[in-house]
Amino acid sequence: MKIRLVKTFRFEAAHSLPTFPEGHKCRRLHGHSFRFDVAVEGDVDPAKGYLIDYGDIKRICDPIVRQLDHYHLNEIDGLSNPTAEMIAKWLWDHIKPQLPLLAKISVYETCTSACEYEG
């Protein structure tokens, strides 16, 4: 049985988007209550009855969340232009080596705006 599991994480952070046009509100320093979903996919082990322990996903992602939470994202290595697209890829690059079942990262910058990245 193939299955997809999703675990959600949150962090608060400030950023500015330097490639946006002069005068654009997103070019100014501002903050968001970011949310991101980590989706893993694979076959359920019939002997166990589950794909992966949600706690294993949390153990991998919590240190990454700590790198982002309450920081200025532009100052984090690899995030000098922290658009939702670049954040999604950065998260993928930091999570995938430890979580081979990773299938998708979804980054929510606001309640109504999200970016999905599948590697």
* Rounded to 5°, angle at Cα 62 from 104 and 97: 50
Q: Which residue out of 24, 70, 75, 116 is catalytically annotated?
A: 70
Dihedral sign, CA of 39, 59, 62, 18?
Answer: negative
The one-letter amino acid at 89 = K
109 flagged as catalytic: yes
Check if 26 is active-site: yes
- Show which residues are catalytic: 26, 70, 109
